[in-house]
Chains A and B, each alone.
Chain A
């Protein structure tokens, strides 16, 4: 696989459009660039296209038109077999968490490491430490079904950041937790950002956005109304 360019923008979209099947375009003429180490909010009302834009960024969808490049690789030229390597550089917090029900919290969080080939006690210790940090010390061996919405969300966040990804995409990551935990999670994202991770947080929580001085990508009806960094 062609390597990731460390000097290229982490995300570059140019005139991107996207539609589901034969429906109308849900995203139109999206252009923005996120440099390495950027931190931004992706905001907009429900149905504005935030989740679709995130899906394009975490390589779950292909654009209908335009140029999308991640880590300097134009996705048109990326072969399917190269996608896993790119995805391992992306951490995703899904809005619906997408935890695997029959795996414990620890096993869910360890999944990106296992998928990357890591094994052994170090993995377990590292994962357990992170779960303690997000306040789940007593739920390391719990199954998702036995956790509250907020606890599941924190497991999902831990899974997204365990790899120290180059790009972190979070879809409403504080939607199910109280304010104190929301701030604690935001500090976690900031800490990752300080270590070089590019962070994009999709939210419609204006109060949360207002507490931080980060640029925002504002989506309205599938169009970027306000350009980001």
Chain B
């Protein structure tokens, strides 16, 4: 007795004893493996998409100005004030925020440990600058002014770095989607071969059905319903297991502080997308079965 039968998915009797096929026993598990891989790959694609969106929103339209520590704390503060005042004169600048020494220290904490400032390391001070939407900033001119106000200060433009990073992540996202498509293709091929075998096994019954006046669609619908149930069952098993793995992985990643800034987390709505994998697997199985069986029957008398 197959898992599907145990779960009562074959209560409606069919003319063709499809639940006794070897395929009925193995196909749900093959589909489960495919659904597991597809869910993981899809989750990867959704995660990377989330990273792209979060990074784009958080870093685009911003500049960071790094003011090196001067010979004294007062001189450093004076330089920062000069830079801030020249920034506030610029109409394309919406927001200027000077990070405190403690905040700057916290940023390097994962690499230098706690209290890097306390032991006298000359940490640079950072100024976070928000630009107006569609602002056109002459960076060369800004760099020249900032350098005049605070010698050695640098202007970091995130957009170029961001574009490159997003470009790389976007490739990863595309690759994940290609993997999902390939998995579904492989699943469809598996179902096609299973249904061909099944059609051969039940040739005697399909012949009788034909001879008493059954249309190809009547016979194909039985294979289609059968494949749909196996697909739904396999999809639910595979996706369920993948969901457990993803939840576990998310918890592990949440504990790694250095990765927190990367926003490696699945948005809530993406779980709804992942939940579509079992019905998609079932629909794919049903369509592949119907197509295969109709083609096979068309070759019969």
- The chain A residues found within 8 Å of chain B, CB to CB, are 58-62, 80-81, 83-85, 87-88, 92, 98, 100-103, 107, 111-112, 114-116, 159
Contacts and interface: CB of A to CB of B under 8 A. Distances in A.
A111 B210 CA distance: 11
Interface string B71-98: 0000000000000000000000000000
B13 interface: yes
B212 A61 contact: no
A112 B212 contact: yes
In order of increasing CB-CB distance, the 9 nearest A-B pairs are: A88-B213, A87-B213, A102-B17, A115-B214, A112-B212, A84-B215, A84-B213, A98-B208, A115-B213
Contacts of B15: 100, 103, 111, 114
8 contacts: A62-B301, A83-B210, A84-B210, A84-B213, A84-B215, A87-B211, A87-B212, A116-B213
A112 B213 contact: yes
Contact of B211 (A92, A101, A102): A92
Interface of B: 13, 15, 17, 20, 204-205, 207-215, 218, 298, 301
A160 to B, nearest CB: 9
B220 to A, nearest CB: 13
A102 B205 CA distance: 11
A116 B213 CA distance: 7
Contacts of B209: 111, 115
Most B CB contacts (10 A, CB to CB) among A59, A84, A103 go to A84
Contacts of B20: 102
B217 to A, nearest CB: 10
A111 B14 CA distance: 11
Given A102-B17, A103-B13, A60 B214 contact: no
Contact of A60 (B13, B204, B301): B301
A59 B300 CA distance: 11
